[in-house]
Amino acid sequence: MSKIKDVEIFLPVFRQENPQYDSSFILKYRGRVVARVITDDGVEGYGMTFADPVAEYIQKILKEEIVGKDPLAFEDIWNAMYTQIRSSGRKGVALMGMSAIDIAIWDIRGKILGQPIYKLLGGVNRLIPAYASVGFLSMPEDTVLEKSLEYVEDGYSMLKIKVGYDLGQNLRADYRRVERVRRAVGDDIHIIVDANGIYDAATAVRFARMLETLDVSLFEEPTHADDIAGLARVRAMTGVPIAAGENEYTKYGCRDLLCADAVDVLQFDITRAGGFTEMTKIIALSQAFNKKIAPHFWPQFSAHLLSAAQNGLYLEVFPTPKGVREGENIITNQPPVVKGQYEIPDGPGLGLDFDYSYLSRYKAPNY
Ligand SMILES: [Mg+2]
């Protein structure tokens, strides 16, 4: 039996000079936190998440819980970590650290068993539909229009537009941003509108009703992630399907959204919610409530989940001329998105080649 020997953390994270922003959040840094888990017989697995402090949390709290364990025992490892974060975590940085490690554990699992993760999950499809996230609220409207047309030309049939000008107090400007795209791309393209949680429930209801005239497919995070009652109110008062969950954690957070009848589409993020181990449970819960799943970001990981999820919809990608933007320097065999379809690599585990020599330049200090 192989055993986990060590965890290394890399921080290719850079402060942005002109940060992008959405309605409620400034992206001061770009980059990733990368976790590399190594076994005593030389198998390595990689996982990623955001937020620098995760590095210290993993080293001080989580690492001790996994070193020495059987890398195939993903439930045992997950539960050991979750037990240890009881009083200092359960959401936020603690779960992000757990998620990165769990993803790496599944990468190792696939390599030991000689199978890609989507097959371990019981999936068949390697081509997974994806939508193009057009840009942040900081992107000028003319650029949004230009990019939207470019992505449609490239074969995407679904776009995401962010709204929430003036802290959610300018619905006419928000409406215009979406309307211009709808006019430009025509009626056959699906449009998701993302407010990043900036509205109160009453304002969100007003805006949802305006969006009904633009045939919007999904209204994402109309209210703050902690305003689940407000979200349920918005959902009850509009015909536009409601999506949320990217800022929620674990099966318990999923249960709260489902029991409040607050969502139509769950958008849990595998690098926050608890990795593959927890996402399979979140997907099962969403199936029991007859809801759909469209994971937030990270197509390299989430594609495996959607290959197997009967209620899965589509991935989120930020397209570039090269394909997918995230992790361009970190992953050397970045899978392509062709005509709005993301292709899962067929190698074992994640099927991704991480550039260790690049990452080594950004090794986190030992805390
Ligand atoms: Mg979002």
| Domain boundaries, given as residue ranges, for the chain | 4-115+353-360, 119-343
Cα 357 from Cα 5, distance rounded (Å): 20
Do the domains 4-115+353-360 and 119-343 sit in the same CATH topology, yes or no?
no
How many CB atoms neighbour CB 264 within 10 A? 16
Helix, strand, or coil (residue 58) = helix
Residue 170 in 3-state DSSP?
coil
What spacing in Å lies between the alpha carbon of 66 and ligand 1's midpoint?
A: 32
| pLDDT, tens only, 7-24 | 999 999 999 889 999 999
Average pLDDT, the chain: 95
pLDDT tens digit sequence for 89-139: 899 999 999 999 999 999 999 999 999 999 999 999 999 999 999 989 999
Four-way CATH pick for 4-115+353-360: 3.10.100.10, 3.30.390.10, 3.20.20.10, 3.40.250.10: 3.30.390.10
**63: CA distance to ligand 1 center in Å?**
30
For residue 1, what pLDDT is reported? 86
Question: What integer pLDDT is reported at residue 135 of this predicted model?
Answer: 86
Residue identified by tokens 């840009």 is 135
- First-last CA distance in the chain: 30
Distance 25 CA to ligand 1 centre (A): 11
157-183 pLDDT, tens digit per residue, is 999 999 999 999 999 999 999 999 999
**For residue 197, how far is its CA from the centre of ligand 1 (angstroms)?**
8
Q: Please tell me the distance between residue 270's alpha carbon and the centre of ligand 1 in angstroms.
A: 14
Domain 119-343, classified CATH 3.20.20.120, yes or no: yes
**What are the φ and ψ backbone dihedral angles of 44, each rounded to 5 degrees?**
-120, 145
Segment 207-250, tens digit of pLDDT: 999 999 999 999 999 999 999 999 999 999 999 999 999 999 99
pLDDT of residue 144: 97
Half-sphere exposure of 82 (CA within 13 A, CB side): 19
Q: How confident is the model at residue 350 (pLDDT cuts 50, 70, 90)?
A: very high
How far is 291 from 286, CA to CA, in rounded Å?
A: 5
Å from CA of 141 to ligand 1 middle: 18
Give the distance, in angstroms, between the CA of residue 68 and the centroid of all CA atoms in the same chain.
30
Distance set, CA 333 to CA 40, 110, 196, 353, 361 (Å): 26, 17, 31, 6, 19
The arithmetic mean of pLDDT across residues 190-205, rounded, is: 98
CB 106 within 8 A of CB 44: no
Q: Does pLDDT of 310 surpass 90?
A: yes
The 10 Å Cβ neighbour count of residue 6 is: 13
Check whether 321 has a pLDDT greater than 80. Answer: no
